[in-house]
Structure 1
Amino acid sequence: MSEAEGHPIAYTALQPGTAVQTSDGQQFATVQAVLVDEKVAVFDGIVVQTAAGPRFVDADEIGTIYTTHVATTLTAEQAAGLPEPERSTIIDIKPGRGRLGRMFGRKR
């Protein structure tokens, strides 16, 4: 892995604005929000901002999350056909805020 690829990180460290790439390394979007199923605290996917508007990328379609980008398993054609997100499920994970921040002693 080259320094330009960044280092693998957990979804909880993923920041809005991070590049999102197809399986061949072409950027097609940026991260807008991270989705988590709160009932079981499981990563559900990400909402990305594309030229066509916000789209949902399921966790199963994400290969590796790096400090510099998100590598998906999607082809360009699949990325172009992503569904719009359901607004009721969006939870934006940001360091130092919410339940994760409280767990580590950070104040809101």
Structure 2
Amino acid sequence: MPGAPDHRIAYTALQPGTPVQTSDGYDFATVQAVLVDEKVSVFDGIVVETAEGARFVDADQVASIYTTHVRTTLSREQARNLALPEASTLIDVKPPRSMAARLGRMFGRRKL
């Protein structure tokens, strides 16, 4: 939405397709999946889709998450050299949820 303000959000609200940026604001990828270690409820990172395919961005490399984008601590060079996601890294992938489903759960509404 043009002109809409950016608001920080939690990783739990991050949606696939959200642009991912380097530390200087260059868009280099989009979010493909959010990785969460469900055993300890910890954000583990994101799998992003780049021009070269899927890559892994560790949680320590994510500076901030907004409604409109994810800002990383990566330089453009570091973003070009991200590792492939490994099976051992994919602890648990948080499935995308619709806003209606989230609001329904918040207010105790059942799916009809």
- Give the alignment's TM-score, normalised by structure 1: 0.82
In structure 2, the partner of 1:26 is 26
**Alpha-carbon separation, structure 2, partners of 1:106 and 1:32:** 28
Residue 107 of structure 1 deviates from its aligned partner by 6.1
Q: CA deviation at 1:95?
A: 2.8
Bigger proportion of residues as helix = 1
Q: Secondary structure at the match of 2:23?
A: coil
Deviations 1:34-87 (CA, angstroms, capped at 9, x unpaired): 000121010000000000000000000000000000000000000011001124
In structure 1, runs of 5+ residues without a counterpart are none
Residue type at the aligned position of 2:64:
T
Structure 2 stretches lacking a partner, 5+ long: none
The percent identity for this pair of structures is 63
Which has more radius of gyration?
2
CA RMSD, Structure 1 to Structure 2 (Å): 2.3
- Length, aligned pairs only: 102
Q: TM-score, normalised by structure 2?
A: 0.79
Question: Which residue pairs with 1:16 in the alignment?
Answer: 16
Would you say the 8 A contact 2:20–2:71 is kept in 1? Answer: yes
